[in-house]
């Protein structure tokens, strides 16, 4: 990216901050004019920095893409596939309640952008290999399919609409319930 004048960089930063906040709060169904309004800039300024909504989405989610990749990479690196799988479910569920828009983009079956689509494809391949390892160890249900994880993430999207102070606890409980459902021999004690 070329070096911007100070005022142009400030506008860009304001736009990204506003877009990130509104996407996290409400998801992707927000207009560019609303983002410009929240950023305190005119629509022309927004479009000069981000000619399409997709360009704005890609830039706004760059941090989440890195965080998501780190979660999956660390989980897949765990020599105990089941422990790695559990870690991924717990941490992605936590990420899920923090940013509705990112989950919308990541779990969408429609092509959101080539960047997010390729990211999703690669991470799902990695997670599928992790799931196969966990199945081979006898700890993950033999009928588990990677689409089940995507379904769980979509179902958990509603957790982000709860009170901010209750979201983390709800995410932990939801993750425990999902893990219990995915486990080959579910625990019989209620999840915490």
Q: From the CB of residue 82, how many other CB atoms can be counted at a distance below 10 Å?
A: 21
Alpha-carbon span 137 to 81, nearest angstrom: 8
Alpha-carbon span 134 to 121, nearest angstrom: 20
SS3 content of the chain, % helix, strand, coil (to 5): 75, 0, 25
30 and 107 in a single domain? The answer is no
Longest dimension (CA), the chain: 61
Please report, to the nearest 10 degrees, the dihedral formed by the alpha carbons of residues 190, 87, 21, 107 taken in order. -90
* 183 backbone φψ class: left, alpha, beta (φ>0; ψ -120 to 50): beta
Q: Tell me: the pLDDT tens digits for 71-109?
A: 999 999 999 999 999 999 999 999 888 877 777 777 666
The verdict on residue 191 lying in a domain is no
For the chain, 192 residues long, give each residue's pLDDT as a single digit of tens: 566 578 778 888 899 989 988 888 877 888 999 999 999 999 999 999 899 988 898 888 887 888 889 999 999 999 999 999 999 999 999 988 887 777 777 766 665 678 888 888 899 999 999 999 999 999 999 999 999 998 998 888 888 777 878 888 999 999 999 999 999 986 655 555
CA distances from 12 to 2, 31, 41, 59 (A): 13, 17, 10, 11
Alpha-carbon span 94 to 107, nearest angstrom: 15
Number of domains in the chain: 2
Non-local CB neighbours of 42 within 8 Å, separated by 6+ positions: 36
The verdict on residue 1 lying in a domain is no
The verdict on residue 192 lying in a domain is no
Q: Which of 44, 60, 76 is the last residue of a domain?
A: 60
Q: What residue numbers bound the domain in which 46 lies? A: 6-60
53 and 78 in a single domain? The answer is no
100 and 53 in a single domain? The answer is no
């Amino acid at each position: 990216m070329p070096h911007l004048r100070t005022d142009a960089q400030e506008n860009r930063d304001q736009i990204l901050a506003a877009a990130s906040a509104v996407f996290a709060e409400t998801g992707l169904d927000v207009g560019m004019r609303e983002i410009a309004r929240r950023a305190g800039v005119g629509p022309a300024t927004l479009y000069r920095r981000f000619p399409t909504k997709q360009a704005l989405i890609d830039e706004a989610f760059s941090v989440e893409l890195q965080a998501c990749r780190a979660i999956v990479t660390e989980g897949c690196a765990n020599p105990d596939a089941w422990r790695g799988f559990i870690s991924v479910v717990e941490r992605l569920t936590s990420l899920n309640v923090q940013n509705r828009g990112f989950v919308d983009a990541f779990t969408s079956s429609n092509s959101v952008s080539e960047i997010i689509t390729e990211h999703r494809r690669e991470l799902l391949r990695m997670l599928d290999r992790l799931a196969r390892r966990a199945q081979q160890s006898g700890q993950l249900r033999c009928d588990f399919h990677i689409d089940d994880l995507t379904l769980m993430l979509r179902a958990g999207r509603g957790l982000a609409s709860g009170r901010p102070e209750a979201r983390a606890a709800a995410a932990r409980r939801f993750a425990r319930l999902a893990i219990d459902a995915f486990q080959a021999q579910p625990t019989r004690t209620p999840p915490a």
